[in-house]
Structure 1
Amino acid sequence: MTPEILPPLKDPLALSEIDALARRHRAAGGVGMQVIALVGGSAEGLVAKLPGPVRDGLEGATARALELAFDAAHRSRGAVADRPDWVNRTLTVAMGVAGGVGGLPGALAELPFTVTMLLRAIQGIAAEHGFDPASDEIRLECLRVFASAGPLSRDDGTDLGFLSARVTLTGPALHGLISKVAPRFAAVLGQKLAAQAAPILGAVAGAAVNYAFTSYYQEIAHVHFGLKALARDRALDEGMLREELVARLG
């Protein structure tokens, strides 16, 4: 017998799942706060430490990195199986060490590879929750995860509203989505670059920053696709569930 599906505010299972997702979302930035303590200052102050030309070109560089990652991560699924979260963290930490050793130039060169690795990890998490990362819709959903506030900033969940819009994958739609995600993600990547290029710390900061970034976006992906799976499995409205989650985070 099929269980009765209740409205989300009266569905005990849905409420319990949303509470668990809210806890996961709040915990996502914990490592990032430790990185801030390591490099000193604040998330907002980090970007100001970057050279002017780097700051000015960051949004364009981020858009290009997202476009490259969107195709590269998708192609890699035919050659490399999905990996556990800890393996992805280990790989991006190694990239962070290499980028940190080279200072700011090294961090800039490492950036597209880390973005691709992050997107590939997010696709694996989508699959873990029962979604097809090869589908156009889920490929865009994975890209949207980068619109969240980032691991070095306090996030109250308001960015989750951005994740609820539906877009069909076409060339113009993809570029439109990237143009919306890029400014948000560029601000986050600016914090990453500045922290990674911190004097003296070098490779240590690079490893810590990449660990924080990978952990954060993996957790946000689990929240995003966990909520979508809850809506799917309980036949509930995803927008209403998302509002309930944001209310708990607020």
Structure 2
Amino acid sequence: MKPTYPIDVLPPKPPKQEVDARLFELAQRHARAGNVGIQILNTIGGQAEGLLARLPEPVRAKLGETTESALRVSMKAAHRSRDVVSETPGWWSRALSTAMGAAGGMGGLPTALAELPVTTTVLLRAIQDVAVEHGFDPSEPGVQYDCIQIFAAAGPLDHDDGTDLAFLSTRVAVTGTAVQALIARVAPRLATVLGQKLAAQTVPVLGAAAGAATNYAYMSYYQQMAHVHFGLRRLAIEADVAHENLVEDFRRLVEAPPVKRA
């Protein structure tokens, strides 16, 4: 099913060679998404799956509830922020997120927890900005759904080409109720991802540096995933092809690393 986003007058249908080239560029974005995350793991000396064990049990137990609440608040806050600042460049979002991560890491776990909802809002706002860049309206329920769906990606510390493409799944018509239901489904996945961030921010000595680095990685990762997601949706519209067929072509590119041009 083709997406039903409101769109402007479309350019002429691109030739297959251009479609293939744009798919290749999106596959390259996907491949680059987790590079900074790998560097962070090397810096803090650990594996992604081991980070959560560093958090106190009470914090781990409430991560899902905390994340779902943060997502619901962030969805409203990110959208309201567009009334104040309609567009923000990608570098600004990365800079802001990095600064917040540094501040959150300075005081250890308490300040990192306090910073979490704010970071979630900034991440979601950055995803909305990418949607706008590709010609979609974040006020539309379908686009809001897609913005949340991007959080179903694996995350920068677990990024693995070919295994984190669930966020590209095709969906049916979307309502506001469906968006709220999606938040509940995505929250456990995002809770694991944000739990890894919290643990990295509490690494002894590194503190603020780890917080800044993790936030930069998370912002870069979700911006790249947003470009992949909305880039594919835009390409499906312009090329007049079924979105699910385009996703399969993209998946074949991603699952055959290294990505090489024919």
The TM tier, using the shorter chain, reads over 0.9
Alignment match, 1:249: 254
Alignment of 1:109 with 2:114, yes or no, is yes
Alignment of 1:168 with 2:178, yes or no, is no
Alignment match, 1:46: 51
Q: Do 1:5 and 1:235's aligned partners in 2 also have CA atoms closer than 8 Å?
A: no
Which secondary structure does the structure 1 equivalent of 2:84 belong to? Answer: coil
Q: TM-score, normalised by structure 1?
A: 0.93
Which secondary structure does the structure 2 equivalent of 1:77 belong to? Answer: helix
Stretches of 4+ aligned residues off by more than 6 angstroms: 2-6
CA shift, 1:162, in A, is 4.0
Separation of aligned partners in 2, 1:101 and 1:197: 9
Q: TM-score, normalised by structure 2?
A: 0.89
Amino acid at match of 1:20: E
Alignment match, 1:131: 136
CA shift, 1:247, in A, is 1.6
Q: 1:243 to 1:161 in 2, by over 3 A?
A: farther
Alignment match, 1:200: 205
**What is the CA deviation profile of residues 151-210 of structure 1, one whole-angstrom value per residue up to 9, with x for unaligned ones?**
011323444344322351233x22310121111111111110000111111100010000
Separation of aligned partners in 2, 1:175 and 1:128: 24
Alignment match, 2:183: 178
Separation of aligned partners in 2, 1:155 and 1:4: 33
Aligned ranges 1:136-147 → 2 under 5 Å? 136-147=141-152
Residues paired across the two proteins, number: 244
Alignment match, 1:67: 72
Separation of aligned partners in 1, 2:145 and 2:220: 20
Aligned ranges 1:12-31 → 2 under 5 Å? 12-31=17-36
**What is the CA deviation profile of residues 25-54 of structure 1, one whole-angstrom value per residue up to 9, with x for unaligned ones?**
010110111111111111111111111111
Q: Do 1:29 and 1:151's aligned partners in 2 also have CA atoms closer than 8 Å?
A: yes
Which secondary structure does the structure 1 equivalent of 2:165 belong to? Answer: helix
Separation of aligned partners in 1, 2:91 and 2:206: 24
Separation of aligned partners in 2, 1:95 and 1:3: 43
Q: 1:117 to 1:4 in 2, by over 3 A?
A: closer
Q: Do 1:157 and 1:246's aligned partners in 2 also have CA atoms closer than 8 Å?
A: yes
Identity of matched residues, %: 52
Which secondary structure does the structure 2 equivalent of 1:78 belong to? Answer: helix
CA shift, 1:18, in A, is 1.1
Q: Do 1:158 and 1:246's aligned partners in 2 also have CA atoms closer than 8 Å?
A: no
Separation of aligned partners in 2, 1:157 and 1:131: 26
Separation of aligned partners in 2, 1:207 and 1:162: 26
